[in-house]
Structure 1
Amino acid sequence: MKTYEILVKGYVQGVGFRYFVQRLAKKIGVKGYVKNLYSGDVLIIAQGENFQLEDFLKRVKTEHPYAEVNEMLIKEIQSSEFDDFTIEY
């Protein structure tokens, strides 16, 4: 199991992006959280198996009808295990 810290840049706030990410994560079985940042970016901590994370990353970037993801900065991090995928405030 891996954990990624994903910084999503672009037009990703004010369009329901966090709720979309949460629904997608639960559908795929990814755990972690999503959070808006003051910079206008969105932070995602995503934990799962390789195949789940690959699918999740691809779909986060392309499937939201109104968001425009310009860049995703991804790095693997160490983390304790998550039980669910939540929206942090």
Structure 2
Amino acid sequence: MQRRKIQVFGQVQGVGFRYFTERLAQKYNIVGTVQNVEQYVEIFAQGEDNDLEQFTQAVIEGASPASKVTDYKIEQLETDPSLKRFRTI
């Protein structure tokens, strides 16, 4: 089990990025949050190693068809056992 903070930069606001990210989280059994922050999208994601890796790759490739990711940052975090679902903030 791993938890990550993922910051995604580029054309990621106003293009359905958070909606598609939430759908990807459901597909890969990821819990956490996604939200717009200033000029980027911030994701806190937790899940089994393989699922989290696949989710992360799908997100940085562009979660929504209209998005264009130009950069991203990933930070490993301590797992949070209180997380039970994925939600958009």
- Whether TM-score is above 0.5 comes out as yes
* Counterparts of residues 15-54 of structure 1 (less than 5 Å): 15-38=15-38, 40-54=39-53
TM-score by length of 2: 0.91
Gaps of 5+ in 1: none
Find the aligned partners of 1:87 and 1:7 in 2 and give their Cα distance. 15
Aligned residue type for 1:67: S
Cα deviations by residue, 1:23-56 (Å, 9 ceiling, x for unpaired)? 1101110110001002x10000000011011100
Gaps of 5+ in 2: none
For the residue of structure 2 that corresponds to 1:80, the secondary structure is coil
For the residue of structure 2 that corresponds to 1:59, the secondary structure is helix
Note the aligned Cα RMSD (angstroms).
Answer: 1.1
TM-score by length of 1: 0.91
Task: Report % sequence identity.
Answer: 39
For the residue of structure 1 that corresponds to 2:71, the secondary structure is strand
The list of structure 1 runs, each at least 4 consecutive aligned residues, that deviate by more than 6 angstroms after superposition, is: none
